[in-house]
Structure 1
Amino acid sequence: MLKKLLIILAFLGPFAAQAQTAQVTVFAAASLRGALDQVATDFGATVALSFGGSGTMARQVAAGAPADVVILANPIWMDWLVENGPTTQGAPIDLLGNSLVLIVPNSTSTAPDPANLTTFLGDGRLAMGQRNGVPAGIYAAEWLQATDQWNGLRDHLAETDNVRSALALVARGDAPLGVVYRTDALAEPDVRVVYEIPADLHSPITYPAAALTRAGAAFLAHLQTRESRAVFASYGFTPVTAP
């Protein structure tokens, strides 16, 4: 009996090891680049990370792109994915929080009046995510509408397909001003923050996450560990799930 058991275990061993080290594929909002890269290195399996705009990520997964975990930067897109995409392993959770800031290139010595950006821009454009699909752009548009600046600025925008592209425009000096997440500004040495946008002037910024497979559920649990939460906090995110 013992001999038979040992033979079975020897046969199953390679398959068990393979299951433990199977690759986990994660589709995530572009603003998580850096923080999620570091968190993934502490997971006990290979993690393939794909970053992009939340709308793009949600549409790709709904169209059949293979993903084990999806982390977006807006609950609206997660709600859309739950309705139009594959079945999730349990309900999505709110994983992280963030905030919006106004940035300029490091070479710029002056700062704008947050209530009158048009004067500061001149012939330049305000870099931000696309207003109808990129969460950071949606939040930025809400702030501009709340401060009665939207009508005057809507034709002076440089809208991008993800927030990191808006950050790059300002870092290169191609745009004199930009609205990005606080975490983006912290990650880019060639920009400086000139204004912290009040949280009550736009919808709450949350990052909902959902597991689509059993392997994804294990990685999602890893994202909520004390160690992972500390990494996210070091990048400027606010973990909103219990440790």
Structure 2
Amino acid sequence: MNTLKILSGGAAQGLVDSLAAKFRDITGYVIEGEFGAVGTMAEKLRAGRPADVLILTTAVLDALARDGFIVSGAATDVGLVEAAIAVRASDPAVAVDTADALRDSLRACDAFFVPDTKASTAGQHIAKVLSQLGIAGDMKDRLREFPNGATAMRHLASSDAARPIGCTQTTEILNTPGLTLIGPLPPGCELATMYAATPTGQTTHATAATTLIKLLTASEQHGARQRAGFLSRSGN
């Protein structure tokens, strides 16, 4: 069976997985996906990793286009993804509706599970928020940092800490069993990142690549994108 290779931010894994069977029925192709921090996925492409489709943030795709790895203007928006707070499903909710509430909730936790604060979109933002809230030093020993948000959330779900909290993109929280999505980061701390999909310049499966991108972004898949945690530009 033919294989379509994708490099994707972890944010899109749940959406891709939910549509993989339909894509196979339409094209006869199976998806071979590699998911992780967007910076890491971009570096894999730059280093020569074979790929037919990229699903990354628009900022990262713009940089790849400038460097000639993809065609400029060929990407199609998938949707906005918010950074959000999660707890284990067995734990009580925490308050994160204001910056002060978020600060208090973070100070009360004994472990804070986050994606890579250098290579991932959410992780970079989380590091800025901790500094903005004036608690970066306080949280240093409580940070539990992992290569990507999906891995961080799996470790949060299985954590034996007394009061753990996690923060990553909503899509990765929703795709992890055993967690409760509390809500997005509050005003002044929020992050909403646009993800887009595009064929790579190296693909030899252009028709299948285009079909996958149309499937991911089609209006009839609006419900699937919502369930996976993607918002439209209008915020729904």
Matched-pair contact (CA < 8 Å) for 2:81–2:229: yes
Alignment match of 1:233 (pick from 222, 226, 229): 226
Q: Could you report, residue by residue, the CA deviation over 1:94-138 in whole angstroms, capped at 9, with x for unpaired residues?
A: 3211112222222333636412245312xx331101111111212
Aligned-pair identity in percent equals 23
Letter in 1 for 2:54: V
- Work out whether residues 107 and 139 of structure 2, in 8 Å CA contact, stay in contact via their aligned partners in 1: no
> Aligned pair count?
218
Q: Tell me, which stretches of 5 or more residues in structure 2 are unaligned?
A: 96-100
What is the 5 A alignment of 1:141-152?
Answer: 141-152=127-138
- Paired residue for 1:219, among 205, 212, 221? 212
Which amino acid is 1:24 matched to? Answer: L
Could you tell me which runs of 5 or more consecutive residues in structure 1 were left unpaired when the two chains were aligned.
Answer: 1-20
Separation (CA, whole Å) in 1 of partners of 2:160 and 2:60? 29
CA contact (8 A) 2:14 2:171 kept: no
What is the rounded CA distance, in whole Å, between the counterparts of 1:184 and 1:56 in structure 2?
17
The equivalent residue for 1:196 is 184
Q: Could you say if the C-alpha distance between residues 189 and 204 of structure 1 is closer, same or farther in structure 2, counting changes exceeding 3 Å?
A: closer
Q: Which amino acid aligns with 1:33?
A: Q
- The equivalent of 1:34 in structure 2 is 14
- Report the equivalent of 1:210: 198
Equivalent of residue 60 in structure 2, options 65, 77, 81: 77
Q: Which amino acid in structure 2 is aligned with residue 183 of structure 1? A: T
Cα 1:189–1:94 shift into 2, 3 Å:
same
What residue is the counterpart of 2:41 in the other structure?
Answer: 57
Which residue of structure 2 lines up, in the alignment, with residue 156 of structure 1?
142
**Structure 1 partner of 2:119:** 133
Q: Offset at 1:22? A: 4.6
Q: In structure 2, which of residues 149, 170, 173 is the aligned counterpart of residue 182 of structure 1?
A: 170
In 2: Cα distance, 1:180 partner to 1:57 partner: 17
Report the CA distance shift for 1:107/1:68 in structure 2 as closer, same or farther (over 3 A): same
* Structure ranking higher in strand proportion: 2
Contact 2:106 2:165 (8 Å CA) reproduced: no
**Secondary structure of 1:25's aligned partner:** strand
C-alpha RMSD of matched pairs (Å): 2.6
Greater CA radius of gyration, 1 or 2? 1
Q: Do 2:86 and 2:180's aligned partners in 1 also have CA atoms closer than 8 Å?
A: yes
1:120 to 81, 105, 108: 108
User: Structure 2-normalised TM-score?
Assistant: 0.79
Number of the residue aligned with 2:98: none
What SS is found at the alignment partner of 1:87?
coil
Q: Deviations over 1:160-208 (max 9, x none)?
A: 1110111012100245111022233333341223443126424431113
Deviations 1:43-85 (CA, angstroms, capped at 9, x unpaired): 222132222221221111111211111001x334323322346
1:87 aligns with 2:73: no
Which has the bigger relative contact order, CA under 8 A and spacing at least 6? 2
Which residue in 2 is equivalent to 1:68?
52
Please give the TM-score of this superposition, normalised by the length of structure 1.
Answer: 0.77
Q: Residue 237 of structure 1: SS of its match in structure 2?
A: coil
